[in-house]
Amino acid sequence: MMAQYAVLLYEQVPPEDLPEEVQRGHLALPAEVAARGGRIVAGMGLEPPETATSLRGDLVTDGPFIETKEVLAGVFVLEARDLDHALELARLTPIVHGGVEVRPLVGFEIVEED
């Protein structure tokens, strides 16, 4: 079984302002990753940061809790042989003015009570 990694996409440009070729690049990414021996298990974009609600202990605030030029724009789960392979595959992600963060995922079993 291959290891799983979260690939977090950070971007300064709102999704609707991304060039069309970048949008097409995101749609083509699963096939490109598969051609290189990996697999995108799941992925999704996020609504703009102004729709976020943050929790810090008992404090609830509107919006993101950190100020950066880039915002977390999306995330996908990637299966790769190892971290080096995951980084190679993550480099395929079309980002205009931002970057990606790759993190190993820690799995755990959800036990449902009857």
Mention every residue, 6+ apart, whose C-beta is less than 8 A from residue 113: none
pLDDT at site 96 = 86
Domains of the chain: 3-104 (3.30.70.1060)
pLDDT at site 69 = 72
Collect the ranges in the chain with pLDDT lower than 70. Answer: 62-68, 109-110
Buried b (16+ CB within 10 A) or exposed e, 66-91: eeeeebbbbbbebbbeeeebbebbbe
pLDDT at site 34 = 97
Residue 26: both structure tokens together: 């995101």
pLDDT at site 68 = 64
pLDDT at site 62 = 67
Residue 87: both structure tokens together: 């980084």
pLDDT at site 81 = 96
